[in-house]
Structure 1
Amino acid sequence: MQSLLLLATLTVLVGVTLTVPAQEKRVHHQRDLSDHAHDDSHGYQYDHEAFLGKEESKTFDQLTPEESKTRLGKIVDRIDTDKDGLVSHSELHYWIKHRQRRYIQENVDKHWKEYDQNKDGKIAWEEYKNTTYGYYLNDEFDDVDDKASYKTMLKRDERRFKAADRDGDLIATREEFTAFLHPEDYDHMKDIIVQETLEDIDTNGDGKINLHEYIGDMYTPGDGESEPDWVQTEKKHFLEFRDTNKDGLLDAGEVANWILPGEVDHADNEARHLIHETDTNKDEKISKKEILANWNMFVGSQATNYGEDLTRKHDEL
């Protein structure tokens, strides 16, 4: 009987773990177009996710070169809204922004079905709290090792939910729930993003971020491991650019300037990058021919890259 009770308890805990909010909701930095580094010398995964969206890029990863090119051609026709046979910067910029908005909406759709328990088209705080943390709030789980961390997460979620809930009724509309899941896209959520970032990185609890904490959030050296060059670069950025008042610490204002630089438009930068790399006749627009000639930058698949590697190795032999 005891073993059956233990099994049932573990089953519940596994279920609870799966309902904890996705990690994309724990914001530290301004959301980029991809989680991959933007370094074309090491591949085009950043460009793929920026151009296609994170989920759609996974689909293209499974396609043959012929299928990828065919689908890319159809996408180009959709991007070329004025039908002049050329993709301008503004058309490409709009497309990339559209793909990012679609990713956000699909992400909200996935969570919405899970949390709108009474199917009334809204999500009350109680619905969200009980679905996500309900079992951890029960006294019978007081001995769970990570209960304290879940209680901390609960407080943070409640604070963020209330900030997203503009009318203060503790019931989120779809727009309010989107702000809750993706606060980096809403001006009125910026203070929450800064506060959460400070809490996560400020390990000594003084309300500010020192150089050790700043680097420690990004890099932990292994035994006998030499420090990478980029760490020295980040230290220089901290001292010369991030710490604007030169007191050796980042306060809330300096953190905001670091993680929420309002002038950065990743979609605009990516549109300019793609045009610069593929505009062979330098007319500042790209034709379908130019795009398809560089299809691997836009939609190239992992399977294709693997095949090219095999061919290259064979030729080298």
Structure 2
Amino acid sequence: MIRPLLMCFVLCVVYGSSKPTEKKSRVHDEEPLSHLEHDDNKNHDYDHEAFLGQDEAKTFDHLKPEESKRRLGIIVDRMDSNKDGFVSEGELKVWIKNAQKKHIYNSVEHQWKDFDANGDGVISWDEYKNVTYGSYLESPQMDSGYNYSVMMLRDERRFRVADRNGDMIADKEEFTAFLHPEDHEHMKDIVVQETIEDIDKNGDGFIDLQEYIGDMYTSEDAEEPEWVATERQQFSEFRDKNKDGKMDKEETLDWILPSDYDHAEAEAKHLLHESDADQDGKLTKKEILDKYDMFVGSQVTDFGEALLRHDEF
């Protein structure tokens, strides 16, 4: 039985909650540019994935510096869409967003063949259900720590929302909305609903302060990490906008899918700021190549030049 993306997410949440000092974030803001920590004082791994895309970054990690720079030079030429010899903040932002979309496309393509059982180019709910929950459907009483019946109903509900024409058969666009709901306007309500269901322990349809903190931090230790106090303040000052002590659907939406922050734009500004040696607000190829470790990095391994090279390079 193949576990769905949603099930993997649940497992990650369960695992993450066992680490009381680590902060867990539910903020989506579309498909993340990277799941890694963004801390330039430690490394530039976040920047690599944001700039290259999470799939391509893995390839660059194993290239020698000379090859990384050569490929980066080709990328710079592609980014310069108006061919003026410079890469602007806007061109950087477009490139990063396209890398993000490519990751989503690859994710869907990778899973598509697993669920399109009859190879007809669409995925019905029955196909998805049978592949994902086949073992459970054959033996509903099987011993398990997971409530598969609830998970299946939740998946079906999301599938119905993603299925715009209501035929319970998903084409590529609808299946993409099912797997990556945070990237689709018509899926935002279901993302909010699922989030509240996950956190709302007393079942009142809201997220209070105790539930909000409990979702990110669980520990029997007497002393809380400093970030917990900060989150308490964030809840009181920013999350709970109407000051009634809890977050409703609209406030939860503002929290997990903020509309006033663009990660691709922020990353473009960051890369520009760190690489713009002459401070003219745009980047030359030389300025980018001089900072190649920030854009693409290099970790020389035994694979070296033996790695397969993509045709575009």
Q: TM-score range by the shorter chain?
A: 0.7 to 0.9
Task: Specify the SS of the correspondent of 2:147.
Answer: helix
If each structure's helix is expressed as a fraction of its own residues, which one has the higher value?
1
What SS does structure 2 have at the residue aligned with 1:41? Answer: coil
Distance, in Å, in 1 between the alignment partners of 2:165 and 2:281 is 46
The two structures, once aligned, show a CA RMSD in angstroms of 1.8
Unpaired runs of at least 5, structure 2? 11-25, 302-313
Residue matched to 2:196: 198
Structure 1 position 221, deviation (Å): 2.9
Displacement of 1:25 in angstroms is: 7.7
Aligned residue identity for 1:56? E
Q: Does 1:270 align with 2:285?
A: no
Greater radius of gyration (CA): 1
Equivalent runs, 1:16-95 vs 2, <5 Å = 16=1, 19-23=2-6, 26=9, 28-30=26-28, 31-95=31-95
TM-score (norm 2): 0.86
Please say which of residues 21-30 and 119-128 is displaced more in the overlay.
21-30
SS state at 1:217 partner: helix
Tell me what 1:228 maps to: 225
Deviations 1:222-261 (A, max 9, x none): 646x422222211111110000111211111110111111
- Specify the alignment match of 2:308 in structure 1: none
**C-alpha contact (below 8 Å) 2:57/2:296 kept by paired residues:** yes
Equivalent residue number for residue 143 of structure 2: 144
User: Is 1:184–1:193's contact at 8 Å kept on the other side of the alignment?
Assistant: yes
Q: Deviations over 1:128-163 (max 9, x none)?
A: 00111022012x4413223x5111110110000000
Rounded to whole Å, the distance in 1 between the matches of 2:194 and 2:4 is 15
Deviations 1:192-213 (A, max 9, x none): 0000000111122221112122
Structure 1: distance between partners of 2:255 and 2:47: 24
- Summarize deviations over 1:28-68 as a string: whole Å, max 9, x none: 43132111222212221111110011111111111222221
- State whether residues 25 and 181 of structure 1, in contact with CA within 8 Å, keep that contact through their aligned partners in structure 2: no
Partner SS, residue 231 of structure 2:
helix
Give yes or no for contact 2:158–2:178 (8 Å, CA) kept in 1: yes
Task: Give 3-state SS (helix, strand or coil) of 2:108's partner.
Answer: helix
Deviation at 1:220, TM superposition (A): 2.4
Q: Which amino acid aligns with 2:218?
A: T
1:207/1:251 contact within 8 Å kept:
yes
Q: Normalising to structure 1: TM-score of the pair?
A: 0.85
Flag the structure with more relative contact order, 1 or 2, with Cα contacts below 8 A and sequence separation at least 6. Answer: 2
Q: Which runs of 5+ in 1 are unaligned?
A: 1-15, 305-317
Q: How does 1:233-272 map to 2 (within 5 A)?
A: 233-272=230-269
Q: Distance in 1 between matches of 2:75 and 2:128?
A: 38
* CA distance in structure 2 between the partners assigned to 1:43 and 1:221 by the alignment: 29
